[in-house]
A and B are shown apart, each in its own frame.
Chain A
Amino acid sequence: MEFVDDDRCGEQARLFAEKEVAPSVAARDRERRWEPELFRRMGAAGLLGATLPGACGGGELSSLALAGLMRGFAEGSGDPGLALAWVAHTVGCAVPVATLGTGEQRRRYLQALVRGDAVGALAHEEQLPAAEPIGVRTTAARTSPGRWVLHGTKSWVVNGPVAQLFVVTAVTDPVPGKRGVSAFLVHRDTPGLTVGRRIVTTGLRTAAISELVLDGCELSDDELLGAEGEGLTGVGRLVQRRLRVFQFAPWLGFMRVLVDRCVVHARERLVHGRPLSHSQTARAVLADMRIRLELSRRMLARAAWQLDAEGEHAGRDVATCALFLAESVGFVARGAVHLHGAQALESHALAGRLARDADAAGLLVDGPDVLRAVIAGSLLDLG
């Protein structure tokens, strides 16, 4: 066990984001605007393919290093929506294509994904009645040998309105069981695929989120991603742990920004004629924010390390990290609001914007209650 922290990558990402991303974030947030060119610049800076193999233009970095990149990007950009888009693109689409895709699929899509010329998305979640153990209702029916037709609606697709390539899960074998779900790689221009209702969120407004409607969408075996029946065991296994770690990786940077801003604010803001920093209570709030940040940093590093090491209790460590981070992000944001008072309500203020986005960040992928059940199940050997 050793704790040497090499942060060179993170520092480069911070400088890039400060120069390229931060200047436009307030306007993009106000207008809910997606800028394709900005995403391409992220690709050119090596962010989008950081962990992918060198053969397809990737940077071959470890998961821990990718987490460092995201932290740096967040510190420099102050843009949680774009960070989320990056996670959805890279973890939800590029990583599964690179890991499970056929030679042909990788040749066709990877370079564009790494460069940011094409935006990727994962279309997995659905609005379901409670009793649906697998979580997928979208169907893929075999119409003739080698041909499939998809029907269904995906509910929360980050990058949905702007993506060219979707990783879509669908039930290929209606007999209940994990092996009944397959993953497909679906291009935006495929007939029968339409981008559905744009989901207008309170926070994370620089990310584009929508439903995805598959209404008689025709595909061939060539569009299967991984083997038939391995949508949850293959793609799901690859993506789910990573999403739960990387959804929070940028928040280490955002929490750092909140702590740093609050220190400056506490020194400059006068309350009844003296700086806020002269209040012992305000200092205690700052100290607790910083403690949460430091604890979160190590929790996230261990979980990111587990993604590659797959050591004992890797799944539990990932869920533990996600639950702690979900609470810590909210804790730090509430501290920032506490210290900023009414100023936190000013929508253009960075602290206010990050505090607003933090509420949403903790709820993405799974809510805390699901994570608690996962952790308890592992502690009690309940499977």
Chain B
Amino acid sequence: MHFALPDPQREFKRRFDRLCGERIAPRAGEVDRTGVVPKESWTELAEAGYLALFHAPQWGGSGVDGVTQGLAMESLARACASTFWSVSISTLLCGKMLSELCGLVQHERWLKPIVAGLVTGSFAATEDAAGSDPGSYRTTLFDTKGGLRLRGEKSRISNAGTADVAVVLARRGDPSGAALCYVVVDLSTRGVERRELPKLGLHGMSWGALRFDDVEVPPDDVIVDASVEKTLHVVEWGQLLQTWCAIGLASAALAACRDHVSSRLAFGRPIAHLELVHSRLADMHVEIEAARLLALEVSWIKGEGRVARDLVFMAKIYATEMAVRVTDLAMRTFGGWGYSRERPIERLHRDSLANIPAGLPTDRLRELLGCAMVGADPWAYEPFDWLGPAGLRLDGE
């Protein structure tokens, strides 16, 4: 193991940190208020190479190593979580769906423009029912005399209102059958309806439902070979996205606290002198470092083209829950100002909450991890008598 950053990684981080600090971070408050990521942010991030980081040169990517990708994700998330989510859902999650699961036609038509920052992508799997349970998905692609049609409604989809294209997970033929496929849907097609869902945080990113009302689908836009397992592999990129978003938010909260406790006076001295205040900063730092080291390793593994599985689950569970704790501690450090919309702290806290349920909630990931450890089936249901064996059945039965 080796923990020093080589010069190219260090240099990229320095340049990209600067862009994020000078251009993206100052807009974060406005992005949160208006609900829009400005066009120039997309352009600047494309010019700085962020959109290209995750992809191979043949699609316009820069093909850099995973550690550099991870460092860049943290920098952007630290500056503005909404911008980070919106841009990364497009280039990273949708981009990887297209590059890893689709063929040349889709690469030319959608992947290259996404990597160039010309169009926006999204990934649509979850529906109104339990998102962790793909068995509940009902959106279906079926044959008609006039060709293939897509029918159903996806829900809680990032970039739903702003995306040009969506990779949609659908059933083939039978709404309750086992066969799954991906459909790459041009969202300007007739029959696509979008509905925005109000939410607690990440206000700058559109999030909502995509309704497909017998949308016409050319056969080229269907990828027949979709399995739950394969989807889970690509979803790892999404889990990495949430992991880094959490770390970026927590690190933004810590940085804000450092400034605040050094300049804020109480009882005639900076509040940094209070033991409970400064020891809290130490706790925040320790948790962030633990999450960051594991996230860097996961990024490194993913950058080498391998499956991270357990490690990305663990990184996501710890990092996303950590960021909620850390931003909560930051709110307390700021006192009443933590609650005010005139300071960034409450936004960091609201935004951090989104990372826990997204891309498989931490409860489900714990279950997948725990089941793998003891060799249990994470899909199984087992009836259990809660009261009898403990002798606590009090109704006389």
Contact of A373 among B258, B278, B289 (CB under 8 A): B278
Q: Does A286 contact B (CB under 8 A)?
A: yes
The reply to whether B2 and A305 contact each other, CB–CB distance below 8 Å, is yes
Question: Which residues of the other chain, B, contact A288 by a CB distance below 8 angstroms?
Answer: 366
Task: Given A283-B370, A284-B367, A382-B272, answer yes or no on A376-B294 (Cβ-Cβ < 8 Å).
Answer: no
The reply to whether A372 and B278 contact each other, CB–CB distance below 8 Å, is yes
Question: B113 to chain A: closest CB distance in Å?
Answer: 32
Complex Cα gap A379–B314 (Å): 27
The reply to whether B366 and A324 contact each other, CB–CB distance below 8 Å, is no
Complex Cα gap A263–B374 (Å): 6
Q: Does B300 contact A (CB under 8 A)?
A: yes
Question: A171 to chain B: closest CB distance in Å?
Answer: 28
A253-288, CB < 8 A from B: 263, 266-267, 272-274, 277-278, 280, 282-284, 286-288
Q: Does A31 contact B (CB under 8 A)?
A: no
Q: Does A323 contact B (CB under 8 A)?
A: yes
Task: Given A272-B390, A380-B281, answer yes or no on A283-B367 (Cβ-Cβ < 8 Å).
Answer: yes
Contact of B289 among A280, A320, A369, A380 (CB under 8 A): A320
The reply to whether A320 and B286 contact each other, CB–CB distance below 8 Å, is yes
Q: Does A301 contact B (CB under 8 A)?
A: yes
Q: Does B290 contact A (CB under 8 A)?
A: yes
Task: Given A4-B1, A291-B314, answer yes or no on A379-B374 (Cβ-Cβ < 8 Å).
Answer: no
Question: A22 to chain B: closest CB distance in Å?
Answer: 24
The reply to whether B1 and A64 contact each other, CB–CB distance below 8 Å, is yes
Question: B82 to chain A: closest CB distance in Å?
Answer: 27
Contact of A295 among B290, B367, B375 (CB under 8 A): B290
Q: Contact string, B287-302, partner A, CB cutoff 8 A, digits 1/0?
A: 1011101101100110
Q: Contact string, A309-321, partner B, CB cutoff 8 A, digits 1/0?
A: 1010000010010
The reply to whether A324 and B286 contact each other, CB–CB distance below 8 Å, is yes
Q: Contact string, B1-30, partner A, CB cutoff 8 A, digits 1/0?
A: 111111001000000000000000000000
Task: Count contacts on A: residues with CB < 8 A to the other chain.
Answer: 49
Task: Given A309-B3, A380-B261, A380-B272, answer yes or no on A298-B294 (Cβ-Cβ < 8 Å).
Answer: yes
The reply to whether B366 and A375 contact each other, CB–CB distance below 8 Å, is no
**Chain B residue at smallest Cβ distance from A305:** B3
The reply to whether B1 and A301 contact each other, CB–CB distance below 8 Å, is yes
B256-292, CB < 8 A from A: 258, 261-262, 272, 275, 278-279, 281-283, 285-287, 289-291
The reply to whether A380 and B390 contact each other, CB–CB distance below 8 Å, is no
The reply to whether B384 and A290 contact each other, CB–CB distance below 8 Å, is no
Q: Does B67 contact A (CB under 8 A)?
A: yes
Complex Cα gap A372–B279 (Å): 5
Q: Does B245 contact A (CB under 8 A)?
A: no
The reply to whether B290 and A263 contact each other, CB–CB distance below 8 Å, is no
**Chain B contact patch, size range:** 35 or more
The reply to whether B282 and A375 contact each other, CB–CB distance below 8 Å, is yes
Q: Contact string, A80-93, partner B, CB cutoff 8 A, digits 1/0?
A: 00000000000000
Q: Does B148 contact A (CB under 8 A)?
A: no
Contact of B374 among A2, A266, A317, A369 (CB under 8 A): A266
The reply to whether A379 and B282 contact each other, CB–CB distance below 8 Å, is yes
Question: Which residues of the other chain, A, contact B275 by a CB distance below 8 angstroms?
Answer: 373
Contact of B373 among A263, A274, A294, A372 (CB under 8 A): A263
Greatest chain B CB density within 10 A among A282, A283, A290, A377 is at A283
Task: Given A283-B366, A302-B293, answer yes or no on A294-B311 (Cβ-Cβ < 8 Å).
Answer: yes
**Chain B residue at smallest Cβ distance from A312:** B4
The reply to whether A323 and B282 contact each other, CB–CB distance below 8 Å, is yes
The reply to whether B390 and A1 contact each other, CB–CB distance below 8 Å, is no
Complex Cα gap A278–B375 (Å): 10
**Chain B residue at smallest Cβ distance from A327:** B286
Complex Cα gap A286–B347 (Å): 33
Q: Does A371 contact B (CB under 8 A)?
A: yes
Question: A219 to chain B: closest CB distance in Å?
Answer: 40
The reply to whether B281 and A379 contact each other, CB–CB distance below 8 Å, is yes
Question: Which residues of the other chain, A, contact B297 by a CB distance below 8 angstroms?
Answer: 3, 298
Question: Which residues of the other chain, B, contact A5 by a CB distance below 8 angstroms?
Answer: 1
Question: Which residues of the other chain, A, contact B317 by a CB distance below 8 angstroms?
Answer: 287, 291
A337-383, CB < 8 A from B: 369, 371-377, 379-380, 382
Complex Cα gap A258–B87 (Å): 42
The reply to whether A320 and B300 contact each other, CB–CB distance below 8 Å, is no
Q: Does B198 contact A (CB under 8 A)?
A: no
Question: B135 to chain A: closest CB distance in Å?
Answer: 18
The reply to whether B279 and A369 contact each other, CB–CB distance below 8 Å, is yes
Q: Does A66 contact B (CB under 8 A)?
A: no
Q: Does B397 contact A (CB under 8 A)?
A: no
Question: B385 to chain A: closest CB distance in Å?
Answer: 8
Question: B6 to chain A: closest CB distance in Å?
Answer: 8
The reply to whether B279 and A376 contact each other, CB–CB distance below 8 Å, is yes
Q: Does B382 contact A (CB under 8 A)?
A: yes
The reply to whether A299 and B289 contact each other, CB–CB distance below 8 Å, is yes
The reply to whether B370 and A286 contact each other, CB–CB distance below 8 Å, is yes
Complex Cα gap A231–B61 (Å): 56
Complex Cα gap A296–B373 (Å): 18
**Chain B residue at smallest Cβ distance from A382:** B272
Q: Does A306 contact B (CB under 8 A)?
A: yes
Closest 9 pairs (CB-CB, A-B): A283-B370, A272-B389, A376-B278, A375-B282, A372-B279, A277-B374, A372-B282, A287-B369, A298-B293
Chain B residues with a Cβ under 8 A of chain A: 1-6, 9, 67, 254, 258, 261-262, 272, 275, 278-279, 281-283, 285-287, 289-291, 293-294, 296-297, 300-301, 311, 314, 317-318, 366-367, 369-371, 373-376, 382, 384-385, 389-390
